[in-house]
Copies of this chain bind each other. A is one copy, B any other.
Protein backbone atom coordinates (compact mmCIF):
# COMPACT_ATOMS: atom_id res chain seq x y z
CA UNK A 1 0.00 0.00 0.00
CA UNK A 2 2.75 2.44 0.98
CA UNK A 3 4.66 1.58 -2.18
CA UNK A 4 1.57 2.12 -4.26
CA UNK A 5 0.84 5.51 -2.77
CA UNK A 6 4.43 6.60 -3.32
CA UNK A 7 4.36 5.45 -6.89
CA UNK A 8 1.18 7.40 -7.58
CA UNK A 9 2.70 10.40 -5.87
CA UNK A 10 5.71 10.25 -8.16
CA UNK A 11 3.52 9.97 -11.22
CA UNK A 12 1.53 13.01 -10.19
CA UNK A 13 4.71 15.00 -9.66
CA UNK A 14 6.11 13.81 -12.98
CA UNK A 15 2.93 15.04 -14.65
CA UNK A 16 3.34 18.51 -13.16
CA UNK A 17 1.06 18.04 -10.17
CA UNK A 18 1.70 18.83 -6.54
CA UNK A 19 1.35 16.85 -3.37
CA UNK A 20 -1.70 17.48 -1.23
CA UNK A 21 -2.86 16.09 2.06
CA UNK A 22 -6.51 15.86 1.07
CA UNK A 23 -5.74 13.98 -2.06
CA UNK A 24 -3.48 11.54 -0.25
CA UNK A 25 -6.28 10.80 2.20
CA UNK A 26 -8.76 10.20 -0.59
CA UNK A 27 -6.41 7.94 -2.52
CA UNK A 28 -5.58 5.86 0.53
CA UNK A 29 -9.26 5.72 1.47
CA UNK A 30 -10.13 4.54 -2.01
CA UNK A 31 -7.69 1.63 -1.99
CA UNK A 32 -8.72 0.67 1.54
CA UNK A 33 -12.44 0.80 0.78
CA UNK A 34 -14.32 -2.21 -0.44
CA UNK A 35 -14.46 -2.10 -4.20
CA UNK A 36 -17.28 -0.68 -6.29
CA UNK A 37 -17.85 2.39 -4.14
CA UNK A 38 -19.83 5.45 -5.11
CA UNK A 39 -18.39 8.93 -4.70
CA UNK A 40 -20.86 9.52 -1.92
CA UNK A 41 -19.88 6.37 -0.04
CA UNK A 42 -16.21 7.16 -0.36
CA UNK A 43 -16.71 10.77 0.68
CA UNK A 44 -18.52 9.71 3.85
CA UNK A 45 -15.90 7.13 4.69
CA UNK A 46 -13.02 9.54 4.10
CA UNK A 47 -14.68 12.27 6.13
CA UNK A 48 -14.74 10.09 9.22
CA UNK A 49 -11.03 10.62 9.61
CA UNK A 50 -10.72 13.91 7.71
CA UNK A 51 -13.99 15.82 8.06
CA UNK A 52 -12.91 18.82 6.04
CA UNK A 53 -12.56 17.06 2.71
CA UNK A 54 -15.03 18.26 0.11
CA UNK A 55 -16.92 15.94 -2.17
CA UNK A 56 -15.52 17.80 -5.16
CA UNK A 57 -12.02 16.72 -4.22
CA UNK A 58 -13.17 13.12 -4.16
CA UNK A 59 -14.65 13.52 -7.62
CA UNK A 60 -11.47 15.10 -8.92
CA UNK A 61 -9.19 12.57 -7.29
CA UNK A 62 -11.02 9.61 -8.75
CA UNK A 63 -10.96 11.16 -12.20
CA UNK A 64 -7.23 11.61 -11.72
CA UNK A 65 -6.74 8.01 -10.65
CA UNK A 66 -8.71 6.93 -13.68
CA UNK A 67 -6.50 9.00 -15.99
CA UNK A 68 -3.42 7.45 -14.40
CA UNK A 69 -4.88 3.99 -14.86
CA UNK A 70 -5.40 3.16 -11.20
CA UNK A 71 -9.19 3.30 -11.12
CA UNK A 72 -12.06 2.14 -13.29
CA UNK A 73 -15.40 3.83 -13.56
CA UNK A 74 -18.43 1.54 -13.40
CA UNK A 75 -22.11 2.11 -13.96
CA UNK A 76 -24.62 -0.41 -12.72
CA UNK A 77 -27.54 1.78 -13.71
CA UNK A 78 -28.18 3.04 -10.20
CA UNK A 79 -27.91 6.72 -11.02
CA UNK A 80 -24.52 7.21 -9.39
CA UNK A 81 -21.32 5.77 -10.79
CA UNK A 82 -19.12 3.38 -8.89
CA UNK A 83 -15.37 3.06 -8.92
CA UNK A 84 -13.06 0.13 -8.42
CA UNK A 85 -9.30 -0.10 -8.23
CA UNK A 86 -7.67 -1.19 -11.46
CA UNK A 87 -4.88 -3.26 -9.93
CA UNK A 88 -6.42 -6.67 -10.44
CA UNK A 89 -6.85 -8.11 -13.95
CA UNK A 90 -9.91 -7.45 -16.08
CA UNK A 91 -13.17 -8.93 -14.93
CA UNK A 92 -16.88 -8.51 -15.39
CA UNK A 93 -19.69 -8.31 -12.83
CA UNK A 94 -22.72 -10.08 -11.47
CA UNK A 95 -24.91 -7.52 -9.71
CA UNK A 96 -27.62 -8.52 -7.24
CA UNK A 97 -30.68 -6.32 -7.66
CA UNK A 98 -31.87 -7.00 -4.14
CA UNK A 99 -28.91 -6.68 -1.80
CA UNK A 100 -26.45 -4.96 -4.11
CA UNK A 101 -23.75 -7.59 -3.80
CA UNK A 102 -21.29 -7.51 -6.67
CA UNK A 103 -19.55 -10.71 -7.73
CA UNK A 104 -16.57 -10.47 -10.05
CA UNK A 105 -15.88 -13.07 -12.66
CA UNK A 106 -13.50 -13.64 -15.51
CA UNK A 107 -14.27 -15.93 -18.42
CA UNK A 108 -11.57 -16.24 -21.06
CA UNK A 109 -13.94 -18.01 -23.41
CA UNK A 110 -16.43 -15.13 -23.37
CA UNK A 111 -13.62 -12.66 -23.89
CA UNK A 112 -12.35 -14.62 -26.88
CA UNK A 113 -15.79 -14.88 -28.42
CA UNK A 114 -16.20 -11.13 -28.10
CA UNK A 115 -13.09 -10.62 -30.17
CA UNK A 116 -14.46 -12.97 -32.82
CA UNK A 117 -17.75 -11.07 -32.91
CA UNK A 118 -16.05 -7.74 -33.45
CA UNK A 119 -13.86 -9.27 -36.14
CA UNK A 120 -16.92 -10.49 -38.02
CA UNK A 121 -18.15 -6.90 -38.17
CA UNK A 122 -14.81 -5.26 -38.96
CA UNK A 123 -15.07 -3.53 -35.61
CA UNK A 124 -11.99 -2.54 -33.60
CA UNK A 125 -12.78 -2.99 -29.90
CA UNK A 126 -11.17 -0.80 -27.27
CA UNK A 127 -13.30 -1.67 -24.23
CA UNK A 128 -16.37 -3.57 -23.23
CA UNK A 129 -18.77 -3.94 -20.37
CA UNK A 130 -20.60 -7.05 -19.41
CA UNK A 131 -22.90 -7.03 -16.44
CA UNK A 132 -25.33 -9.72 -15.46
CA UNK A 133 -28.15 -8.57 -13.19
CA UNK A 134 -30.30 -10.79 -11.05
CA UNK A 135 -30.29 -12.26 -7.57
CA UNK A 136 -27.40 -13.67 -5.63
CA UNK A 137 -27.63 -17.07 -4.01
CA UNK A 138 -28.80 -15.64 -0.69
CA UNK A 139 -31.42 -13.32 -2.10
CA UNK A 140 -32.72 -15.91 -4.53
CA UNK A 141 -33.13 -18.43 -1.71
CA UNK A 142 -35.27 -16.05 0.30
CA UNK A 143 -32.74 -15.24 3.01
CA UNK A 144 -33.05 -11.68 4.16
CA UNK A 145 -30.55 -9.39 2.49
CA UNK A 146 -27.69 -7.90 4.42
CA UNK A 147 -28.04 -4.44 3.00
CA UNK A 148 -29.93 -2.46 0.43
CA UNK A 149 -28.47 -0.11 -2.09
- Residue numbers of A with Cβ under 8 A of B are 75, 77, 94, 96-97, 103, 105, 107, 109-110, 113-114, 117-118, 120-137, 140
What distance in Å separates the Cβ of A49 from its nearest Cβ neighbour in chain B?
Answer: 33
Q: How far is the CA of A134 from the CA of B129 in the complex (A)?
A: 12
Given A75-B75, A129-B130, A132-B117: A123 and B94 interface contact (C-beta under 8 Å): yes
A109 partner residues in chain B, CB cutoff 8 A? 113
Contact A110 B121 (CB under 8 A): no
How many copies of the shown chain assemble into the complex? 2
Q: How far is the CA of A128 from the CA of B95 in the complex (A)?
A: 10
Q: How far is the CA of A136 from the CA of B127 in the complex (A)?
A: 13
Q: How far is the CA of A132 from the CA of B117 in the complex (A)?
A: 10
Q: How far is the CA of A97 from the CA of B77 in the complex (A)?
A: 20
Chain B residue nearest in CB terms to A96: B123
A105 partner residues in chain B, CB cutoff 8 A? 117, 120-121
